[in-house]
Amino acid sequence: MNWMRWLFAFIFLPIILSIITGDVGIAYISLLPASALAFAILFEPPSGFRGEREVEKTLLHTGDETEVRVKLSVEKGSGPVVVGDVLPPSFELVEGKNRHVFFKRPGERLEVKYRYRVRALKRGVYFIPPLEVEGKHLLGIESSRYAVVSDGVEVRVSPRLVEIRKSILVRRRGRLGLPPAVKTAIGFTSTEFKEIREYRPGDSIRSVNWKASARFSKLLVNEYEREGYLTVMFYLDGSDSMAVGGYQSGAFETAIEFLVPVIDYLLKQGYQVGLYVLGHEYWIPPMSGSSASSTFRKLLIPLGMTSHNESLPLAVEKTRYLLSGGVIPIVITNVNPGSVSQLSLGVKNLLKLTRVRPIVVDIDVYPAAGSAGTLISLRKKKLAESIPARVIRISRADKRAVSRFMGVLQ
Amino acid sequence: MRLDELFSVSLVTVATLSPAFSLSRYFEDFSKSIELKIGIHIAPIFLSLLTMLSLVLYLFYIRKLRPSWTVAVLAVFYAVPYLGGIPVKEIPSITLAAIPLGISIALVPYVEELRAQVHYLISAGVRSEEINAIVVEGFKTIGFALLPGVMLLTYLLLSTGAGSRPITLLPTFLIIPLALILGLILTSIEQDRDEAEETILVLRAYMVAGDTFRIRKGTLWEEGYELLIEGGSPVKRTVLISFPVSEVPKFVILRSPWDTKFLSGKMETIENGKRYLLFLETMSRAPSSPDSASAPP
């Protein structure tokens, strides 16, 4: 219902009636709606918004809480003022509210302060957009005033790292696969010359030894010693097949929370680590050193799933030049009937290229789903038997997943 | 104005012309007839209150009528006993009963507006204490707005013998045009002051998008453009994006890998030297749109 029309009708009808009947007194009743209308016209909706927002901590770990403090002032007008933040879906309100309504009285400046606490539930790089403010006209006869005030805030949420006990670190130091003293065949090159060999697809053009190539009439390249030691190459499935389980605790989240501490640990131990994300076609060539950890985090923390399905054999083919000389290939996926054939084929290719038996980390979110979940888990176990690789099943509830994985790596 | 609104307002206006004592007389007659039949005396005022209350309960709570219709029916009920037999010319004047009835009628649309706002605020998760405070403040302000009118009306009714000896000194009819002219002048002054130096485009949509999306510019058309929001895990969420623009588009298509929304301008406000253009999603789609159910696959 339009109140403006109602008021106008209520003003004019008594006047018309008074004219018809000749009784001027009837027109007096128009004073009531006229009074309200005059007020409505004189006072505009609340406007002149100024706001400040402060987020206590912008670097968080999953499960951490942070406080958001908001200060708002409204200069002009009269009526309700609705103010609020659009929080990313991975934040949970633990105290207070992110949406408020205040009343701006005519002729008085409105100044309010409020605060609320949120908990980060999932890793990622989130953007909290600017504060939305809407001033509504008291009688609804004018359109609302809307503005976005303050700046957006970026909040980075890292997965909470699983503490690998010192005893495990000490016990397993230097026993991971091949001895760490063995130089690796891939990764960043050093300045230490190793040999001249034939050109292979993927070799840099800068490494071509033109003199030698001219002498032997074939393309030859200089080979240098690589930095670091053993290489662990991860293939992380980022496709829709990982979209099982809850949004904040599904297979993909479990995989990321597993992968980040494992990569950190391997880099600290001096190994080279590479990563290929299936579906996204993102990849990081094998790197070593603890500083490489930030490169992996930069990719993994905001990483989401994609609807583009990329098969493991294709990913292996794209990265085949990285897979020679003592590389341990590790595939992280959700083993299911739809993907098992391609997974097996990819694993076979990895075995052929690396001559190292690959490890498949099967993310299992079903144990949490009761008896039906157990049946699916049994089915996954059966499927895994057909894969020519060592298969480790990891679930979210498994607090010792990282340690168990390290045991298998030995 | 809709016909139902016109009808109810007309009835209400006619109803206010009815002398209050006549209504009391009607219930007095009713009370006497009850006493004659069953021998129990029921006060006329109690009968009238009971009847009004029963009517409100029936119309508002059982038939779920809107407040405006409930008030309109009550007004008809108030007027019915007299509409049949009293010629309009013989009605002496409006009565004091017109004041509360007039106030309640003036408030009905505001109450409806308030109900809609409260519903919106509850769904937005605002605390009930804040909503209650808004309702109280709103009624106080409306009361303040109506107060000059009530005071003037009461004075006029008292000084003119409830309108039977109307005074011609006060130009009642001029109040409205004067108020409108004043309002227009004030509005034009306000508009002159509002000059924007920068235009901010605000896009708001509820859609399936990545939780940690990044924005990428997509296709540009003559009158609008497409924004791609990529990255993150899919989740149904509110997307709010704001950025300055040099030219105002007519539409914006917001596209994530899982959903597409067509946004068009819904609101324009100038605040602190900035023009804010709020674009919200629109339901209209071309028949050939892939999102349309009638579109061929």
Contact state of A90 with B211 under an 8 Å Cβ cutoff:
yes
B149 to chain A, any CB pair closer than 8 A? The answer is yes
pLDDT attached to residue A234: 94
CB pairs under 8 A between A and B: 246
Residue of B6, B106, B242 with shortest CB distance to A33: B106
Of B110 and A18, the one with more pLDDT: B110
pLDDT attached to residue B148: 83
Q: Give the rounded percent of residues in chain B with a pLDDT score beyond 70.
A: 62
Nearest in space to A344 (alpha carbons), one of B193, A354, A333? A333
A219 to chain B, any CB pair closer than 8 A? The answer is no
Of B21 and A3, the one with more pLDDT: A3
Contact state of B126 with A147 under an 8 Å Cβ cutoff:
no
Chain A, residues 325-384, CB within 8 A of chain B, namely: none
Contact state of B172 with A30 under an 8 Å Cβ cutoff:
yes
* Chain A residue with the nearest C-alpha to that of B141: A105
Mean pLDDT of A9-29: 69
A106 to chain B, any CB pair closer than 8 A? The answer is yes
Expressed in angstroms, the distance from the first to the final Cα of chain B is 44
pLDDT tens profile B211-255: 888 888 777 777 888 899 888 888 889 999 998 888 888 899 999
Q: Give the rounded percent of residues in chain A with a pLDDT score beyond 70.
A: 84
* Chain A residue with the nearest C-alpha to that of B5: A6
Contact state of B235 with A247 under an 8 Å Cβ cutoff:
yes
Q: Which of A137-146, A172-181, A395-404 has the lowest mean pLDDT?
A: A172-181
Residue B212: its chain A contacts at CB < 8 A? Answer: 88, 124-126, 302, 304
How buried is B165 (Cβ within 10 angstroms: 0-12 exposed, 13-18 middle, 19+ buried)?
exposed
Token output for B106 = 């003036």
pLDDT tens profile A180-210: 434 444 444 556 676 788 887 767 788 888 9
Q: Which of A160-164, A369-373, A376-380 has the highest mean pLDDT?
A: A376-380
Residue A25: its chain B contacts at CB < 8 A? Answer: 93-94, 156-157, 160, 162-164, 166
pLDDT attached to residue A12: 77
Contact state of A38 with B200 under an 8 Å Cβ cutoff:
no
Contact state of A31 with B152 under an 8 Å Cβ cutoff:
yes
Residue of A9, A42, A302 with shortest CB distance to B6: A9
pLDDT attached to residue B75: 65
Domain boundaries, chain A: 3-42, 47-158, 166-188+227-409
pLDDT attached to residue B91: 44
Contact state of A10 with B106 under an 8 Å Cβ cutoff:
yes
Tracing tokens 């409260």 back to the chain, one arrives at B118
pLDDT tens profile B13-57: 555 554 444 565 667 777 888 888 888 888 776 777 777 777 777
pLDDT attached to residue A166: 47
B135 to chain A, any CB pair closer than 8 A? The answer is no
B75 to chain A, any CB pair closer than 8 A? The answer is no
pLDDT attached to residue B262: 92
How buried is A198 (Cβ within 10 angstroms: 0-12 exposed, 13-18 middle, 19+ buried)?
exposed
Cα distances from A388 to residues A333, A356, A357, B57, in angstroms, run 15, 11, 8, 76
Cα distances from B118 to residues A206, B99, B133, B219, in angstroms, run 69, 28, 11, 40
Q: Do residues A263 and A293 make contact, with C-beta atoms less than 8 angstroms apart?
A: yes
Say whether pLDDT at A409 is over 80.
no
Contact state of B152 with A130 under an 8 Å Cβ cutoff:
no
Mean pLDDT of A53-62: 90
Q: Which of A41-50, A189-198, A214-223, A292-301 has the lowest mean pLDDT?
A: A189-198
Nearest in space to A232 (alpha carbons), one of A268, A201, A199? A268
Contact state of B145 with A40 under an 8 Å Cβ cutoff:
yes
Residue of A5, A6, A15, A42 to mutate, testing the B interface (most B Cβ within 10 Å of its Cβ): A6
Q: Do residues A269 and A180 make contact, with C-beta atoms less than 8 angstroms apart?
A: yes
pLDDT attached to residue A331: 93
Contact state of A47 with B271 under an 8 Å Cβ cutoff:
yes
pLDDT tens profile A146-183: 999 888 899 999 887 665 554 344 444 444 444 443 44
- The Cα diameter of chain A in Å comes to 120
Q: What is the pTM of this model?
A: 0.68
Amino acid identity of residue B247, one-letter, is E
Distance from CA of A39 to the nearest CA of B (A): 6
Residue of A12, A31, A39 to mutate, testing the B interface (most B Cβ within 10 Å of its Cβ): A31
Query: What class does CATH assign to A166-188+227-409?
Result: alpha beta
Residue of A1, A125, A252 with shortest CB distance to B109: A1
Q: Is B135 left (phi over 0), alpha (psi -120 to 50) or beta?
A: alpha
pLDDT attached to residue A171: 42
Residue of A23, A136, A306 with shortest CB distance to B163: A23
Is residue A285 very low, low, confident or very high in pLDDT (cuts 50, 70, 90)? confident
Q: Which of A130-134, A332-336, B166-170, B291-295 has the lowest mean pLDDT?
A: B291-295
Residue B98: its chain A contacts at CB < 8 A? Answer: 29
Distance from CA of B124 to the nearest CA of A (A): 7
Topology adopted by domain A47-158 = Immunoglobulin-like (2.60.40)
Q: Which of A214-228, B131-145, B210-224, B234-248 has the highest mean pLDDT?
A: B234-248
Distance from CA of B175 to the nearest CA of A (A): 7
Domain boundaries, chain B: 1-92, 95-193, 198-281
Chain B, residues 217-236, CB within 8 A of chain A, namely: 231-236
Q: Give the rounded percent of residues in chain A with a pLDDT score beyond 90.
A: 17
Chain mean pLDDT for chain A: 81
* Chain B residue with the nearest C-alpha to that of A26: B94
pLDDT tens profile B68-87: 777 777 766 665 544 444 44
